[in-house]
Amino acid sequence: MKLEIRDLRAQIDDTPILKGIDLTMESGQLHALMGPNGSGKSTLSNVIFGHPSYEVTGGEILVDGENILELETHERARLGLFMAFQYPVEIPGVTVGRFLKRAAEIRFGEEDFKASAFIKELRSWLDFMDMDQNFINRYLNEGFSGGEKKRMEVLQMLMLKPSFAVMDETDSGLDIDALRIVANGLNELRGPDFGGMVITHYQRILDYIKPDFVHIMYKGTIVTSGGRELVEALEERGYDWIRKQHGIEEEENEKEIVHEH
Amino acid sequence: MSTEQEQVQVEDYKYGFHFPDESVFKTERGLNEAVIHAISDHKNEPEWMREFRLESLRTFRAKPMPNWGGDLSGIDFENICYYAKPSEKQYDSWDDVPAAIKETYDRLGIPEAERKYLAGVGAQYDSEMVYHNIQQELKDKGVIFTDPETAVREHPDLVRKFFGTVIPYSDNKFAALNSAVWSGGSFVYIPPGVHVDVPLQAYFRINSQNFGQFERTLIIADEGSFVHYVEGCTAPVFATDSLHSAVVEIVALEGARVRYSTIQNWSSDVYNLVTKRGVAYKDATVEWVDGNLGSKRTMKYPAVWLMGEGAHGEILSIAFGGKGQEQDTGGKCVHCASNTSSVITSKSISKDGGIASYRGQIKVEPGLTNVRSHVECDALILDPESKSNTYPYMDIMSDDVSIEHEARVSKISEEQLFYLTSRGLDEEEASTMIVNGFLDPLVKQLPMEYAVELNRLIELEMEGSVG
Ligand SMILES: Nc1ncnc2c1ncn2[C@@H]1O[C@H](COP(=O)(O)OP(=O)(O)OP(=O)(O)O)[C@@H](O)[C@H]1O
Ligand SMILES: [Mg+2]
């Protein structure tokens, strides 16, 4: 699968958030997306999945050359896209088992779906994620701890085997063991038919998963892209370094804001 | 409402079919003494029952229409047929039931359910029970499960002792109406200490147009006994209104437990106005599980009167108010003894301009100690056109009382829909899943088959709901 984002612009309530994003990602590759709080990383993931709060004002998103901007969220998912949420949503009364069974049926086709094989696989991934078996009968994300919610996102990803996954800060709020488990989970999926974009603030997860490309987002644009060396530079020098490199832009932005008032 | 929309509703309602009206006897439309006499004659009733009916009719006429709850102005009492007898007799084998009637129940899945998981079945078609059967083993233990007409003839002492004692004919206008023209229903008696482990079920089906169904159910659980009684109801879709006005009385004697579950799924032209009340004596428990889908107006507030120490009452009410529908439901618990407890849980859903209202009352008589009550109302509103109301009434006349009341109104959030659709479910399926999830804590308490049925009905109600 090839996911191309071209000059993507999006706003929320008339406030532009994404100001021209260009990114090309393919199966077999793992990308990391970093950037300060509020730079637009989650907005980008939400827009890729068609979140109704965001208005796309320009550009396109292509999956294998087809523009997906007109597709509904579930249609995008059915292309094989998956998003691990930064803030997974609680769905009271819907058990993990029931929900995932339905999602798997949709993903793999109802004809080929075998309940027994599904349950077996679910049980083994739960073990892999070091989660209790009784999560199957718990209501989705309801009352889960922060770390459990994140593991549940990865569990879903392992079950649904997407062609391309966006993982939005899946490593935030995880203890060290959980971090390793999550990284292992992602590494399980890696291969020529899987691509992913990992959004993170920390080097640690990237040490485990070794992304092929690193992008840095700043105020709604990708300001620089490179390899893993970027992560170390960032860790050493912080976002100040980026700010200095792109100082002019920022000043202009701030002038704009001053003018508005 | 355009005809096209009406058409859609008709198709959505799976039980909307009907067979030609082949009643063997029917009264003229309208209500008067002659109708009462005709019913009484056909049933060959003792004089005391005829008198009871006539007295009830006088009370019905004297009482004004309720001026609260749903809008009932569409009911035309003179345009309703009060009694339609579908066949000459009642059968205890499905093979003998007249073909069209049998086919109706086949399509509703009743004979199959009986084979699989019921201890006894009663089936009513318009005014009369056409089928009744109960496992021999239960008969041998002295369990009675029959229609009230047979009970009047064969068990007059039991009937006269309890009939109309829990819900007097003077209770409300519709209880008076039922008392005047009642026909069919169930009579259940469980002897002391007998536990009926699998449910007894009655199924009420309206087939005739402009018809009123007035079944009458009396359940007596003698000391230390247990029974789970289940009731289902459907009606065909007609363009004109029908009336369903039942009375259900439950008596749980010392240490007995009665669980009564119903999932009512009337077509959208039925006024469903039912009075249900149980009395729980010392250490007895009465539980109502009351699911209301469909109908035009429903007014129904199952009640438990806690008469002896250690008594417990529990009411679970589920209501789905769809297009053009108004569900006014809830529950009532009256504490008349110390050391009693009650729980009312209400879950309502409103959609496409439907109204779902919770109306409930907790009453505690003076001079009691250690009374506990918990009321919880959850409403889910699916769109801005739909409404949910909550009318809780508290009437507490003792001090040593603990009452908790929680009410929540929620909407399906955009974030929940986005989360589920991002996993491949389309919006309609995602909303349905959220609605079923909302009901799940209640549905879990239903027998498996009914839980599955309720989930399926919700799916039908949700179909085509997302543009
Ligand atoms: N629903 C919304 N309403 C108003 N503002 C929003 C909304 N969603 C995002 N924003 C704004 O858009 C900007 C980008 O937010 P976004 O969540 O994409 O940042 P992020 O890069 O993911 O940050 P973080 O690292 O903190 O997760 C922020 O200034 C945020 O306040
Ligand atoms: Mg974010």
What are the pLDDT digits (tens) for B389-414?
A: 999 999 999 999 999 999 999 999 99
pLDDT score for B107: 84
Average pLDDT over residues B271-284: 97
Say yes or no for a CB contact (<8 Å) between A99 and B433. Answer: yes
Average pLDDT over residues B115-127: 85
Does the structure show a pLDDT above 70 at A70? yes
From the CA of A35, give the closest atom in ligand 1.
21
What crossing angle do the helices spanning B427-443 and B448-462 adopt, rounded to 10°? 150
| Of A81, A84, A48, nearest in space to A169 by CA | A84
Residue A87 and residue A168: Cα distance in Å, rounded? 9
Cβ of residue A156 closer than 8 Å to a chain B Cβ: yes
Average pLDDT over residues B367-383: 96
Sign of CA dihedral A100, A106, A108, A113: positive
Segment among A177-181, B116-120, B178-182 with least mean pLDDT? B116-120
Does the structure show a pLDDT above 70 at A250? no
Does the structure show a pLDDT above 80 at A101? yes
Q: How confident is the model at residue B88 (pLDDT cuts 50, 70, 90)?
A: confident
Does the structure show a pLDDT above 90 at B16? no
Contacting residues of A for B414, CB less than 8 Å apart: 52-53
Contacting residues of A for B415, CB less than 8 Å apart: 89
- Taking CA atoms, what residue in B is nearest to A109? B424
pLDDT score for A176: 92
Say yes or no for a CB contact (<8 Å) between B416 and A51. Answer: no
What's the CA-to-centroid distance between B125 and ligand 1, angstroms?
61
Average pLDDT over residues B44-70: 94
Tell me if ipTM is over 0.90. Answer: yes
Sign of CA dihedral A34, A36, A39, A41: positive
Q: How confident is the model at residue B465 (pLDDT cuts 50, 70, 90)?
A: low
Q: What is the torsion angle, in degrees rounded to the nearest 10, for the CA atoms of residue B289, residue B212, residue B122 and residue B201?
A: -10
Residue A93 and residue B438: Cα distance in Å, rounded? 6
- Taking CA atoms, what residue in A is nearest to B429? A102
Q: CATH 3.40.50.300 residue ranges in chain A?
A: 2-88+162-245
Cβ of residue B67 closer than 8 Å to a chain A Cβ: no
Strand blocks (E) in B223-269: 226-234, 242-244, 247-252, 257-266
Cβ of residue A12 closer than 8 Å to a chain B Cβ: no
pLDDT score for B464: 61
Superfamily of domain A2-88+162-245: P-loop containing nucleotide triphosphate hydrolases (3.40.50.300)
Does the structure show a pLDDT above 90 at A39? yes
Say yes or no for a CB contact (<8 Å) between B437 and A89. Answer: no
| Of B422, B461, B423, B424, nearest in space to B439 by CA | B461
Q: Looking at per-residue confidence, does B145 or B236 come out higher?
A: B145
Average pLDDT over residues B239-259: 93
Contacting residues of A for B428, CB less than 8 Å apart: none
Most confident range (mean pLDDT) of A52-61, B228-237, B240-249 is A52-61
Take atom 24 of ligand 1 and give the residue whose Cα is closest.
A37
pLDDT score for B280: 98
Does the structure show a pLDDT above 50 at A255? no
Residue to mutate among B345, B378, B416, B419, with most A CBs inside 10 A, is B419
Cβ of residue B338 closer than 8 Å to a chain A Cβ: no
Residue B184 and residue B187: Cα distance in Å, rounded? 9
Two tokens at A55? 């208005």
Say yes or no for a CB contact (<8 Å) between B414 and A53. Answer: yes
Tell me the percentage of chain B whose pLDDT exceeds 70: 96
Cβ of residue B464 closer than 8 Å to a chain A Cβ: no
The domain limits of chain B are: 9-300, 413-467
Does the structure show a pLDDT above 70 at A218? yes
Partner-chain residue, chosen from A77, A90, A93, that has the shortest CB–CB distance to B423: A77
From the CA of A45, give the closest atom in ligand 1.
18
What's the CA-to-centroid distance between A154 and ligand 2, angstroms?
17
- Residue A178 to chain B, least CA–CA distance (Å): 23
Helical H runs in A202-246?
A: 203-209, 229-245
Q: Ligand 1 pocket by C-beta < 6 Å: which residues?
A: A 12, 17, 35, 37-43, 53, 86
Amino acid at A120: K
What's the CA-to-centroid distance between B164 and ligand 1, angstroms?
65
What's the CA-to-centroid distance between A12 and ligand 1, angstroms?
9
| Of B231, B233, B213, B256, nearest in space to B81 by CA | B213
Q: How confident is the model at residue B316 (pLDDT cuts 50, 70, 90)?
A: very high
Residue B16 and residue B130: Cα distance in Å, rounded? 20
Average pLDDT over residues A51-62: 97
Q: What is the pTM of this model?
A: 0.83
Does the structure show a pLDDT above 50 at A261? no
Contacting residues of B for A91, CB less than 8 Å apart: 416, 419-420, 433-434, 437
Residue A148 and residue B336: Cα distance in Å, rounded? 48
Q: How confident is the model at residue B6 (pLDDT cuts 50, 70, 90)?
A: very low
Say yes or no for a CB contact (<8 Å) between B422 and A139. Answer: no
Interface of B with A in 132-151 (CB under 8 A): none
Does the structure show a pLDDT above 70 at A259? no
Does the structure show a pLDDT above 50 at A198? yes
Mean pLDDT taken over chain B: 90
Interface of B with A in 374-413 (CB under 8 A): 413
pLDDT score for A249: 52
Take atom 6 of ligand 1 and give the residue whose Cα is closest.
A12
Partner-chain residue, chosen from A51, A93, A107, that has the shortest CB–CB distance to B436: A93
Two tokens at B306? 């806690």
Residue to mutate among A74, A83, A154, with most B CBs inside 10 A, is A74
Q: How confident is the model at residue A184 (pLDDT cuts 50, 70, 90)?
A: very high
Report CA A119 to chain centroid distance, whole Å: 26
Contacting residues of B for A139, CB less than 8 Å apart: 437, 440
Cβ of residue B444 closer than 8 Å to a chain A Cβ: no
pLDDT score for B12: 60
Q: How confident is the model at residue A256 (pLDDT cuts 50, 70, 90)?
A: very low
What's the CA-to-centroid distance between A41 and ligand 2, angstroms?
5
What does residue A94 show for φ and ψ, rounded to 5 degrees?
-110, 115
pLDDT score for B442: 81
